[in-house]
Amino acid sequence: MRSLLVLALLAQVTVIPRANPPTSAKDYPIRAVPLTSVRITDGFWGPKREINRTVTIPHIMQQNELTGRIDNFLKAAKKKPGPYQGQRYNDTDVYKVIEAASWSLASRPDPVLDKKVDELIGIVAAAQEPDGYLYTPRSVDPASPAPGAGPERWSWLHTSHELYDQGHMIEAAVAHYSATGKRTFLDVATKSADLMVKVFGPDKRRDVPGHEEVELALVKLYRVTGQQKYLDLAKFFLDERGQKHSVEHPQFEQGNRFFMYNDLAYRQDQAPVAQQTSAVGHAVRATYLYSAMTDIATMVGDGLDKVVDTLFDDVTEKKMYVTGGLGAEGRTEAFGAEYALPNRAYAETCASIGGMLWYQRMFLRDAKTSRYDALERTLYNGYLSGVSLSGDRFFYQNPLVSDGRVERSTYFDVACCPANLARLMAELPGLIYAQDDKTVYVNLFIGSEANLVVNGVKVKLTQTTDYPWSGDVTLRVDPERPVEVSFEIRIPEWTRNPTQSALYRFAQPAAERPAVAVSGKAVPLEPNATSAIVDGKWRKGDVVTLKLPMPVRRVLANDKVTEDAGKAAIQRGPILYALEAVDNGGSLKDVKIPPDTTLTSTFKPDLLGGVQVVTGKVGDRTVTAVPYYAWNNRGKGEMAVWIPY
């Protein structure tokens, strides 16, 4: 009944698919308020999302055309001659930008973009083989598939990315269907998934994909279709992990690659998932796997409950950069050992994204605000650094230090990050709020209007804020008629000291504490409260105000992080800062910020799209720090997040 009410409301707000709500499995006790019910009106994210729609998405679509990624589909459909071009996972760059465009359409109708998406889906659909197989690295020329694709269908799953490709295709199709109500792409996806159901299973072909992704996608497909077989197949792929399937493939690429593909831990195939208690291997693969494990832990159970909690602690307490970045090892794009966090970092943009998708799932299981503390740390720092302010240049790696040679690129040979970044930006409205029957969770502070149904009553929620520059947040509650609602508003970890984190702490205690008021009346808040809970009967126009003090604070890393010894980072609110040579006399050599330095912040509307800048006097020199996410928007130059004190 509850889900029917939600669907009824959504139907008035936007075009919404007629999903068949699954009935046979358990589900998350908390549900995200879907992006179709939330409109972002925010001064910080609004313009960035507009750049995403008008610059980033068209830019990626164009790059996909220029680099043969679209032609590969045309060639597979025999509409164009010629060999397959590029890497064997290039199909996903097309799928992910369709997903980004679809979510963008859900927020804002755009007939030109809508038409373009339909056109792309037509091109993709034509490349699908009659039995549902869709993988252009093979279909273009089955006698001579792309390097790494393997001689036959599904024969080199550990290197081919065949199932990885299907995963992104399914996610894109689910997004397109959810956003537009059109079945065109969803029909392609179910046809492909039905083929996988035919091929893989306990009594059929048993193997695992070398790059996880299809598992979480199959769960999504199950959600929109209600077809249990897709959930079962997702669980099957998880169950097969660590079962010592043949790992030897003939060498097809020189150098490191061969080593990686035969390293079981690299692709999280070293042990059954229920025994994987430490985050290892390729960080993007890992976060996609942990997302699927969290889905299955919640929806099926099966002994994974504790494992996902343990993994979350392992990642956030021992292996996460202060920017939220994941992956210390460059050569294998992998997690390093505990506390091994060199600042040259790998921290792939995709790993930040995979992390956020996982943390949200973790929150929906248990309402712990630590999940969103990790998500917010990533969102404003190690994720957002992945794209230039102009929207058309990208970081694949997000280091915390640069000698001046690092620069964003317009696109990549391996181009997983740009479209991944674009789809997360488009999905952002769906990350802000969550709810169950009686409780509404306010997890991110982003100016927005949300339409919910709580206790059977329609409630409009309006959030106003200048976050992340100001910690003042106003929530106006407008129920259709008076209604009991409990609001749980996250009090960010960065307002506290000591923080929960064993990895990062503030050098000085916070002088001021957060404050909450309802219609002007202060609500008592425990010291170190992780959320403000305000409940009662709400009437039209009731207002909750939240004050999160945002002094400039110094961050210290756990002593075990040797590279950060004797150094501090600068944080204000959720924003991590970096020093760039351009603001500091052309060089960061010998820059020190002694502990007694007074650091102050000023808003500079004309700098880097409008940012709060941090400055301090050290001797006769003024040091200037800008938000980490905004670095490298004024040419190449040295940069550092951790500064000697």
Residues that bind Zn ion (CB under 5 A): 348, 350, 416-417
Q: Which is nearer to Zn ion, 89 or 133 (CB)?
A: 89
Kindly state the smallest distance separating residue 391's Cβ from Zn ion, in Å: 17
The CA distance from 149 to 553, in Å, is 50
Kindly state the smallest distance separating residue 412's Cβ from Zn ion, in Å: 8
Task: Give residue number: closest CB to Zn ion.
Answer: 350
Kindly state the smallest distance separating residue 288's Cβ from Zn ion, in Å: 11
Q: Which is nearer to Zn ion, 123 or 416 (CB)?
A: 416
Q: Which is nearer to Zn ion, 153 or 168 (CB)?
A: 168
Q: Which is nearer to Zn ion, 169 or 274 (CB)?
A: 169
Kindly state the smallest distance separating residue 342's Cβ from Zn ion, in Å: 19
Residue 10's contacts (CB-CB under 8 Å, 6 or more residues apart) are 16, 34, 36, 37
HSE-up of 237 (CA within 13 Å, CB side)? 33
Alpha carbon distances (Å) from 624 to 57, 407, 591, 612, 643: 33, 21, 11, 11, 12
The CA distance from 377 to 356, in Å, is 10
Q: Which is nearer to Zn ion, 212 or 493 (CB)?
A: 212
Kindly state the smallest distance separating residue 86's Cβ from Zn ion, in Å: 15
Q: Which is nearer to Zn ion, 348 or 638 (CB)?
A: 348
Kindly state the smallest distance separating residue 416's Cβ from Zn ion, in Å: 3
- Give the bridge partners for 556, in sequence order: 505
The CA distance from 439 to 418, in Å, is 35
Is 19 in contact with 13 (CB distance < 8 Å)?
A: no
Q: Which is nearer to Zn ion, 139 or 352 (CB)?
A: 352
Q: Which is nearer to Zn ion, 207 or 348 (CB)?
A: 348
Is 406 in contact with 643 (CB distance < 8 Å)?
A: no
Kindly state the smallest distance separating residue 311's Cβ from Zn ion, in Å: 20
Q: Which is nearer to Zn ion, 189 or 416 (CB)?
A: 416
Is 621 in contact with 643 (CB distance < 8 Å)?
A: no
Kindly state the smallest distance separating residue 170's Cβ from Zn ion, in Å: 19
Of 190, 76, 82, 83, the C-alpha closest to 124 is 76
- Quickly list DSSP for 191-202: HHHHHHHHHBST
Alpha carbon distances (Å) from 543 to 460, 461, 464, 474: 12, 10, 11, 7
* SS (HEC) of 449-505: EEEEEECCEEEEEEEEECCCCCCEEEEEEEECCCEEEEEEEECCHHHCCCCCCCCEE
Kindly state the smallest distance separating residue 420's Cβ from Zn ion, in Å: 6
Q: Which is nearer to Zn ion, 285 or 490 (CB)?
A: 285
Residue 413's contacts (CB-CB under 8 Å, 6 or more residues apart) are 86, 87
Angle 548-441-535 from CA coordinates, rounded to 5°: 85
Instruction: Give the DSSP H or E segment for 569.
Output: strand 567-572
Kindly state the smallest distance separating residue 329's Cβ from Zn ion, in Å: 15
Task: Report how far Cα 51 is from the mean position of its chain's Cα atoms.
Answer: 18
